[in-house]
Amino acid sequence: MPRPDLNLLVALDVLLAEGSVTAAARRLRLSPSAMSRTLARLRRATGDPLFVRAGRGLVPTPRALELRGTVSQLVEGAEAVLRPATAIDPRRLDRTFSLRASDGFVENFGPELISRVAEEAPGVRLRFVQKIDRSSSPLRDGSIDLETGVLGPTKAPELRVQALFQDRFVGVVRSGHPWVRKEMTPALYVGGLHILVSRRGLDRGPIDDALAALGLERRIKTIVGGFAAALALARNSDLVASVPEHHSGTLHRGMYSFPLPVPLHGITVSLFWHPRSGSDPAHAWFRRLVRDVCAGAPGRRGIGSDGASDA
């Protein structure tokens, strides 16, 4: 059985509204003869005359009157589907957004993000998903909405990326550490006992490469998978943690931090999402909210990604 021509619904909706072939033709920008042919097709499709003569005009049949409400709703629904998405009212949103990030992000910026969501969109729920690897699969399959981290070669090429902030690595020790207020030099730095952060369990990172270029080597005492763990150990020992300064700002509050005495490239923390969500007004609102939280963080630096790179 051939599929019906859905364009006939629009024509029937206009005919029912105008009650005149001539007026309907004018509204649809058709000739009267073309509109008459369309009415003939509608009659064949429905098996009903739909409109009959009454003096000089047309009157709808009972079948046409029965269809009036349904046809109007169908046409209105189709137009809404095909209309570009418009701005949304966040206060009317009833939705869960998933953000894949590090534990450090949740600790540093989660409270502010939750507060902003509660203020702007009380019906929205946040789901923080732990970041255990660099796979792009969760964004591709739609199980998460956004991800934060450092752009690397393993990221799916179709992902949309927006830089959030620049960060740099600093050394951090407990407040009573012997290094507090000492002038930091490469020799002093390598003389300490260090915590290496490596999500992949490697035994060296970019800091070690920078030291090697100076003919130096630091002593790695322990290896952990994230910056939060490194700072927890450093807070309760004389071990030295090297972490992104702004990403871990809350985590090393009350501790002593110092610039690393070796040349090291900074890192750019970015926001990632899949193109399928690019035009969704609600998703765009959530992206904007995350960016605002980043921009409003201490030092206007924003969020980071625990374990995004080895250090």
Where residue 308 falls among pLDDT bands split at 50, 70, 90? very low
Tell me what percent of the chain is helix, strand and coil, each rounded to the nearest 5: 40, 20, 40
Same fold, 93-167+268-300 and 169-265: yes
- In angstroms, how far is CA 142 from the centroid of its own chain? 11
What CATH architecture applies to the domain 93-167+268-300? 3-Layer(aba) Sandwich (3.40)
User: Locate tokens 């939705």: which residue?
Assistant: 95
In the predicted model, what is the mean pLDDT of the chain?
86
- Which sequence spans correspond to the domains of the chain? 7-82, 93-167+268-300, 169-265
pTM of the model: 0.66
pLDDT at 311 over 50: no
pLDDT at 83 over 70: no
pLDDT tens readout for residues 7-57: 899 999 899 888 889 999 999 999 999 999 999 999 999 999 999 988 777
Complete edge-to-edge strand list for the sheet that includes strand 219-224:
219-224, 193-197, 240-244, 169-173, 256-259
Cα separation of 20 and 36, whole Å?
10
Amino acid 78: pLDDT: 82
Where residue 84 falls among pLDDT bands split at 50, 70, 90? low
pLDDT tens readout for residues 52-71: 988 777 888 999 888 888 88
pLDDT tens readout for residues 243-259: 988 888 888 989 999 99
Average pLDDT on 180-202 reads: 91
Query: Of 1.10.10.10, 3.40.50.720, 2.40.40.20, 1.20.120.1810, which CATH number belongs to 7-82?
Result: 1.10.10.10
pLDDT at 82 over 70: yes
Cβ atoms of 2 and 44 within 8 Å: the answer is no
Query: Of 3.30.1490.20, 3.40.190.10, 3.20.20.100, 3.90.70.10, which CATH number belongs to 169-265?
Result: 3.40.190.10
Amino acid 1: pLDDT: 56
pLDDT at 140 over 80: yes
pLDDT more than 90, % of the chain: 49
pLDDT at 310 over 50: no
Task: For strands 124-130 and 95-101, give the pairing.
Answer: parallel
Most confident of 109-113, 140-144, 214-218: 214-218
Cα separation of 204 and 311, whole Å?
8
Task: For strands 146-150 and 95-101, give the pairing.
Answer: parallel
pLDDT tens readout for residues 231-287: 999 999 999 999 988 888 888 989 999 999 998 888 888 899 999 888 889 999 999
